[in-house]
Structure 1
Amino acid sequence: MYIKTLSVTKLNSYIKKVMDNDFILRNICVKGEISNLKIHSSGHIYFSLKDGASKINCIMFESDACNLTFTPENGNNVIVKGRVSTYPKEGLYQLYCNEMEIEGIGQLHIAFEKLKKKLENQGLFDEDNKKRLPKYPRKIGVITSASGAAVRDVINVAKRRNPFVDLLIYPSLVQGEKASEDLIKGIKYLQKIKEIDVIILARGGGSIEELWAFNDEALAYEIYKCNKPVVTGVGHETDFTIADFVGDRRAPTPSAAAEIVVPNINEINQKLDNLKTSLSMSMKGMINDYYSKFEFLHKKLELNNPNNYIVNLYNTLDNYNIRLKNIMYSKLNTEQGKLQNLKSLLFAHNPLNILDKGYAILENDENTIIKNIEELKKNECINIKMKDGESKFKIEFLEDI
């Protein structure tokens, strides 16, 4: 039998042709653990897939890598789809990947990421749209299974933290095809109750399939438009659902949800005691401040008391009164002295004083003093004043002497 001699290049090309034309190798699905991962700046991803005994080199070009819903990491158990071919230049075969998904999640994970991206673009996850939780709720609505561990955890935590808070349990399916519809009914029912301050959506841990009801799109919209704050406590700390992203607050577990929503009565009492102490100290401080201000104003008022001013005016008035009296007495004494002098002078020049010496004053009928004989001759009746009185006399002229 004749065997044709081939060059290395032709051999590698032949091997590539054989592999590319093999139906199984052209449509292969392989699962394994990622190792030697390298994400190139060009967007291409280079890695190896390995299991307990073997490994295969893999490459995913940027055109396919951009469609991934997660970022691959070393240690991820994945399922990849693609084709096995060879690189003729090196003579190595490798797996050219078109699709990749986390093993065990598959289509559910893809659906989850797709819905998450859709709702995120619509703004349902925005922090600005989330409602604030009430600090001191009086009544809390709880939507969960009536027979699960979650409801017992919520009740126990609530009673321990604050026995005065009321819980209204809405029993709902939390797993299966009808669970999301039941959860939506619970939200619609509880948000109509005026006394309900906040709603807890709770379920215990489980697989992604068991928690899938909380990834329902209609439930996400119902949580978003609910007029009361919604707190989710679904699964374990590592479990995330669409409801967690839409809710106003996410708790890692049902118990943690109750911890978040129900205020601790001991902390409230301690806070009240602190506020009472602070208020008391503040009031005492204010009273002391006002008392100091009062004392200051009182002393200031005493210094500027009108009574003191009036008393001082009384003293001033008394001084003025004394000065006035002194001036008056001085003036009176002076005037009395002048009056006495005038009296003495008047007395000295009083014509009536001469009557004491025997002289008399002659007046006519008109009370005019008669000063000479001629005037006397003209009067028949005259008035004569002497020291002991006056009288009228009728005279008669006899002769000149």
Structure 2
Amino acid sequence: MFNDDFNSPSRERQVLSVSQLNRRAKQLLETHLPLIWVEGEISNIARPSSGHWYFTLKDDNAQVRCAMFRGRNQQVRFQPQQGQQVLVRARVSLYENRGDYQLIAEHMEEAGHGALQRAFEALKEKLLQEGLFDEARKRPLPALPQHIGVITSGTGAAIRDILTVLKRRFPSIPVTLLPVPVQGKEAAPAIVQAFELANRAGLFDVLIVGRGGGSLEDLWPFNEEMVARAIVSSEVPVVSAVGHEVDFTIADFVADLRAPTPSAAAELVVPDASEWLGQFRGYAQRLTQLMQRRLRAEHQHAQHLGKRLRHPGERLQQQSQRLDGLELRLNQIMRQRLASAHQRVASLAARQKAQRPEPRLRQWRLQVEQQRERLNRQMQQTLKQQRQRLGEAGRMLQSVSPLNTLERGYAIVHGEAGEVIRDAAQVKAGDRIRTRVAKGEILSRVEG
């Protein structure tokens, strides 16, 4: 017998509204589906005044609605166009108001080879405007480097080609490999780190950076801006050797020198030892010829001097005669100077005798005694005058002294603050006053 549980009165029904249904569906989608990457063609793109983007991604068989909010789409490096193929990183969600299933895009980039090419051209133009491609800022390579650094893969053909050429052309120059990955996401940061290490080491006179040929995607690490700026910032001259002769990368444009291949880079950084040996042989022959010529000239000069050379005995006789003459002149000069000194001493003695100090001292003593007597007389007279003036001043002071007034029965009244009372209005009943008389003071209180 058929049992209809759905219609059974014993089972309670759970009824959802449309809003509840859409909310649950949205939560289910956002919870169980992580961030995903979707590639498709843009259609029906709209950019309202809010700054958000709304568009549809489609392929040959299906389509899905998408939204990209303003905070995210401001980070997109290009303006998406109708019909453009893009790669989107998004969350799966649902627009509750309409029940539409949609993608919330968080990142967008151009898809395929064309995107890489446009990114290459954009970075090339940016660095060109900054002047990083100017020949004036590029440095010459050393004529004979003392140490060469190579930044490339340790297992690729590029390092084998470089080492083969360096060993053939100038095997005595030391070479150090700084191994890095040369493709993939890890390549660009590793290359930048290798440049920093090479510059900190301070060992190298020139650096070669590069790899063998490949597709644009394979060579892309050498088109990264961080690698370009690491090359520009290097204190050591850099030779870029990326790919084949037809391949050009951003690293080629900013490097101090671009080599078409890794082998060509090795040819450019060191001279040919055989050519140098040939030059050295030429220098040795020229040096030998110059030395022989100089020896002949010195030999001729020595012969000429030998002819001019006289016997030492003759030179000694001449020097002996000269010494005798100098001795005679010295004795004569000494006698003359001694006679002159005697005359000066006699003259000074006579002057000293004529200027004996005893008479002058007696004269000075007499003058001092006379001045002392004059000074005593003037002091006595001055003291007498000052005593007279002092007496007169005392008598005048005594005549005007308030104490004399007090002796005649008068008094001086002072208030509580010490001020002199000249008017009865200065005090009131109850104030204390102090009255000075000829002998002593009287303290009293005002009654009225």
The higher relative CO (CA closer than 8 Å, separation ≥ 6) is in 1
TM-score computed with the length of structure 1 as normaliser: 0.46
Flag the structure with higher helix content.
Answer: 2
TM-score computed with the length of structure 2 as normaliser: 0.41
